[in-house]
Amino acid sequence: MRNFLLSVFLTLGLFANSQNTKGDVFFGAAVVHTIDINFTQTGYWDSLVANYITDVYMKCNIVVDGSTLTTSGVKFKGNSSYNNPSVKKSFKLDFNEYVNGQDYDGLKKLNLNNGFKDPTFMREKIMLDFLIRAGIPAPRCTYARVNLNGTFWGLYVVVEEIDKDFLDDEFSDDKGNLFKGDPSGDLKWLGSSVNTYTTKYELKTNETANNWTDLVYLIDKINNSPVGFQDSLNKILQVTPFLKAWAASNMFANLDSYIGSGHNYYVYHDSITNKFNWITWDVNEAFGNFTQGMSSTQIETLSINYTGGGANNRPLCNKIIANPTLYASYVNEVCYLTGYHFLQSYWFPKIDSLKTKIMSDVYADPNKFFTNTQFDTNIDTMITVVGNPGNPNIAGLKSFFNRRRASLVTQMLSNSCNVGLKEDRVNVNSLIVKPNPTNGKFWVNTGSSMAKVVFYDVLGKEIDIELIRTLSNSEMQFSFEKLPKGLYFCKAGPEVIRIIHQ
């Protein structure tokens, strides 16, 4: 292993430059971007409103950080985020709608979310970063100042589109069917007729073929496999990633989701593995902002077994809870995420850093939904806003985190998992590789943007591996998929972690 210790490191920055993934520059930049949307039409606002009803993109020119994308498309998006009296609507941008092949940093579409229920502008950003850091399929997120025809319209939360580019980056396959669990994708069995599902889900790829039989087959296996349910589920669904996504939604009390309201997710049928993958979507209600009629205390102490609407309304979760082996796997994921990722010592500095990053733009936002004082206060503690849609009591990010983690620790103790309130199991400045063992893709967190990382085989020979995507300078996703199964090593600074590729 002497050659291993003496090898020259490959910096993360150089590695990223040599193997860039779509959107790495845009989502990896530690800045608030500037997006200008310019219309040549008079009365463009009325046209946007009319196009919202018909779901048609309006032509415009878009400038992203000084780069112009002519004849792009823009439309209003959202449901509750649109149906409020404010002029600050959410937008979807499509650079490729009218000019084939046009993109920005490899991205064809972007979602601009208006933050209509979040005084901090951080709920969506923090949870999505959490998911990605834990290796759970989810879109990336950043911020932008948005101008309409030269007028500053406000600060927006920018979220990656779940499209074929995302699928190709995340799963190395974009040929399968992508379904969105909207408007009411509870995964209940409604019979074998495809027509009973087309009003409850949306097919987002391969629309011309319009073949829904794989989704019906998935729902059939979830609901109608009383004998051998575990084996049936493992054959059609990537179960562990779903358990992680379920655990994360519960931990953040993100109840405008499958486990609560029964929607806001994607399932992708990978044409290579022939299994469905779960993709979390639309997490702006994280940190208990969507209560389903519960009090703040009930949200903060939410049972890890919570499923909205009763025992039969979320069959995927309910059937797993009823299966001892699968349920034990779910509890293990909650335990792991609580002990190694749901950490004040990691996320509170991130929250403080984000506040510094966006504060001046929040203060300057002429159309924001909350005051500057509410922004400042809600980062730490709960605020009460009379007339806020759904819930007047908006949990503070840090106060919610503290109370929610305390509840999770208590619940884990009753499930034979000793997480520890003092976070003494985890050194957040140390090297983390997750998941490990891996069947291909994994995340490396070096704990420092200055750290260098290098990979070796069992003979101590330095190897190059594929970079998939970048969350930050210290957090990057790699792939072993092109390498033989076996034992490898990751080294950053003085630390070495053994990686099992299986």
Is pLDDT above 60 for 119? yes
Of 135, 164, 193, the residue at which a domain comes to its end is 164
> 385 and 349 in one domain?
yes
Of 133, 164, 195, the residue at which a domain comes to its end is 164
Return d(Cα 313, Cα 443) in angstroms, integer: 34
Band (pLDDT 50/70/90 cuts) for residue 3 is very low
Q: What percent of the chain has pLDDT over 70?
A: 92
Examine residue 261 and state whether it is found in any structural domain, yes or no. Answer: yes
Quick one: 251 exposed, middle or buried, by C-beta within 10 A (0-12, 13-18, 19+)? buried
> 385 and 280 in one domain?
yes
Examine residue 493 and state whether it is found in any structural domain, yes or no. Answer: yes
pLDDT of residue 500: 82
CATH number at residue 446: 2.60.40
- Cα separations in angstroms, 71 against 22, 89, 102, 306: 21, 21, 10, 47
> 187 and 304 in one domain?
yes
pLDDT digits (tens, 9 = 90+) for 360-392: 999 999 999 999 999 999 999 999 998 887 789
pLDDT of residue 469: 78
Band (pLDDT 50/70/90 cuts) for residue 474 is confident
Of 103, 129, 164, the residue at which a domain comes to its end is 164
Nearest residue to 443 via CA among 479, 493, 483: 479
pLDDT of residue 426: 38
Question: Mind giving me the DSSP string for 37-104?
Answer: EE--STTHHHHHHHHHHHT-PEEEEEEETTEEEEEEEEEEE-STTTSSS-S--EEEEETTSSSTT--B
> 255 and 299 in one domain?
yes
pLDDT of residue 434: 83
Is pLDDT above 70 for 2? no
Region 329-355 average pLDDT: 93
> 349 and 260 in one domain?
yes
> 112 and 122 in one domain?
yes
> 383 and 285 in one domain?
yes
**In sequence order, which residues have a C-beta less than 8 Å from that of residue 197 and are 6 or more positions away?**
190, 212, 215, 216, 219
Is pLDDT above 60 for 16? no
pLDDT of residue 10: 30
Examine residue 468 and state whether it is found in any structural domain, yes or no. Answer: yes
* Termini Cα distance of the chain: 23
pLDDT of residue 461: 79
Nearest 10 degrees: Cα torsion 112, 118, 122, 126: -100
pLDDT of residue 376: 98
* Region of residue 337 (left: phi > 0; alpha: psi -120 to 50; beta: else): alpha
Band (pLDDT 50/70/90 cuts) for residue 220 is very high
**How does the average pLDDT of the chain come out, rounded?**
89
> 337 and 482 in one domain?
no
pLDDT digits (tens, 9 = 90+) for 436-462: 888 888 888 876 655 678 888 777 778
Examine residue 292 and state whether it is found in any structural domain, yes or no. Answer: yes
> 151 and 230 in one domain?
no
Comparing 106-115, 306-315, 390-399, which segment has the lowest mean pLDDT? 306-315
Comparing 138-142, 197-201, 331-335, 446-450, which segment has the lowest mean pLDDT? 446-450
- Per the structure, the count of domains in the chain is 3
Tokens for 355, please give them.
């506040």
Tokens for 483, please give them.
């390498």
> 221 and 145 in one domain?
no
> 452 and 334 in one domain?
no
Is pLDDT above 60 for 424? no
Across-strand partners of 442?
Answer: 478
Indicate the pTM of the whole model. 0.82
Return d(Cα 379, Cα 123) in angstroms, integer: 10
Examine residue 189 and state whether it is found in any structural domain, yes or no. Answer: yes
Examine residue 170 and state whether it is found in any structural domain, yes or no. Answer: no
Residues of the domain holding 140: 24-164
**Is the preceding peptide bond at 435 cis, omega within 30 degrees of 0?**
yes
Bigger pLDDT: 318 vs 416: 318
> 483 and 448 in one domain?
yes
Examine residue 388 and state whether it is found in any structural domain, yes or no. Answer: yes
Examine residue 174 and state whether it is found in any structural domain, yes or no. Answer: no
